[in-house]
Structure 1
Amino acid sequence: MASNVFGGVVVTYVSLCVDVSSYRPGILKLLEHIRPTWKEETIEFKVFEGGFTNCLVGVKSGEEDMLLVRVYGRNTEKFINRESEIKNLVYLNKHIGTPPVYAHFDNGLCYGYAEGRHLALDELYDKTMGRRIAKELAKMHAIPLPAEDTNKALLDTVYFNSWLDEIPAVLETEEKTARMKKLIGSVEELRRECDELKSHLDQLNSPIVFCHNDLMSKNMIYSQNDGSLTLIDLEYGGPNYRGFDLGDFFCEFAGIDTVDYNLFPSRDYQLVWLRMYLEEAALLRGEEPSTVTDEMVEDLYVEANQFALTCHVMWGIWGLIQARYSVLDFDYLEYAELRFGEYRSRRETFLLLKKPSKK
């Protein structure tokens, strides 16, 4: 056992790999280092279903708090910087009290469990729950960024850069390869399209904040005990444009198991929720919610919807990479086709939106 320092916090490192198909021996070995008083005969395991990248196992002993052990999916290092992920989790625990990190190992990490249940997709429309989501997201966006990250948005440095480099030349069959080429043309063509889109969005001056970057309902845990909401699964988190998180949140109303973009929230709903978000942000700055104006809400509506286009492109690229390397039973190529299809169907309409303050 050793340790590494992330953001000034020491995190235990254990040299081992946990086998996804037979995880028990590896996790027991891990617990010897971080929970040495736990007796093997009292330890309970719970596999959490529904992940699209990793294997997630809960471990508990008696009345002790549950721990989560995440075993990374194969080849996920191609689009997730695991060192940055641990750094971000430590940073968020320090600033807004998200679950702590207890240890990391060669193909995963162990961290605290957020008590509660995942939100159902239809709960995103609930006004009370919407206020909770707006409050937690505003808190995350208000975290001061480390000085070295203030001008580095993941959209620029990772999603529209290194991820493009990871798009495979071919998929497992000629038919799938042909579908991919029909979808994006070539990587060079897609890169030019990303550059053009980014050039347009630069005019919005969306601030760089700490973003979650994966705001699906399954990454929101509601505790009925105290009414709190916790944003979890921050492996894609980090400094990014505020508009990306807002646009991604609205895109996630369509779901992921079964994707239906008819569920993309209406303008009326978005304006109500964006006002709540701005009011919560105002409160965090010590201002009255009444300082939020209609013009501010309209401005943010344009920002969120135009950045939603980048979310479709980013997750479309993610789908193409996963289609080549993931071993999970999910049609990633079809998902990429859905995301790029939605991007192209909305692109002209969204890019024509104008901020009231820019008239």
Structure 2
Amino acid sequence: MDKVLHKSVQVDGLKLHVAEVGSESSPAVIFLHGFPEIWYTWRYQMIAVANAGFRAIAPDFRGYGLSDSPAEPEKASFADFVNDIVSILDSLGISKVFVVAKDFGAMVAFSFVLLHPEKVAGLISLGMIFVPPGAYKRSFALPEGFYVRRWQEPGRAEADFGRLDVKTVVRNIYILFSKSEIPIADENQEIMDLVKPTSPLPSWFTEEDLATYGALYERSGFRTALQVPYRATYLDVGPVEHDPKMEAPTLLIMGEEDYVMKIMDEYVRSDGMKKYVPNLETIYVPHGSHFVHEQFPDHVNQLIVTFLDRNKHRVPV
């Protein structure tokens, strides 16, 4: 990790933090985090792709980690996040890039690919499938106690999280999202109540990792994180919305025990994405959770590097 450089990129009056490792002359790979993550979630993948001859770039989204928060976090949008990616790449002089994204970061990535296909050499999504924007259903038809629905409600998560220190909130979410069960609270429960204080961290997530996450969320808070992805409307991608096609080579990596599989298992296993992503390959990781890239970094790194090597001819030298 000592090789990772940290810089700030100015975008719309905000300083956005970017972690980077690898030669500037190498094909570039941009890593987009989910929630409750920041750039650090890609610590294993960044080093692996740099060692394989690629340039690894991992920004913190605005309002996350070491990036500045927007003046009005409650007005942050998916469009802001997509535009930030474009601005970061332009400022670094990168015309074409591989995109590796997880969780809601993949939703940002999908919009980026649809709006800027000429900038994309290939896409890897972890734990998140592509659903056409016009068919996107925020509630997933799940009960009122589903965590996504709870966090959509203004003030609900703020009150729930506010009972605990920031580090404990991150801890609880990591424990919850590492399980195969869908996080659903009873009528008289809050989401944080689903985790007992004595519950252990996942074996692959250390106290040092938790301290790093906790310190960065202590800095940023959760205002932007609750807005995007939970309360912001999905990005309007214009004319491509009704016939979205992502032609770039795409790899979907899903943990077999990721709770997302219980929500969209039929769609994933029926290759429903192939209608919109014709050059799609799907790989399932046995025993993999929603954080499969942190849980089994060596295996996931191998999958990523193999994909990048197979498609690096798509990046102009």
Q: Which has the higher contact order (CA 8 A, sep 6+)?
A: 2
Question: TM > 0.5 between the two?
Answer: no
Q: Report the TM-score when normalising by structure 1.
A: 0.24
Larger Rg: 1
Q: Report the TM-score when normalising by structure 2.
A: 0.26
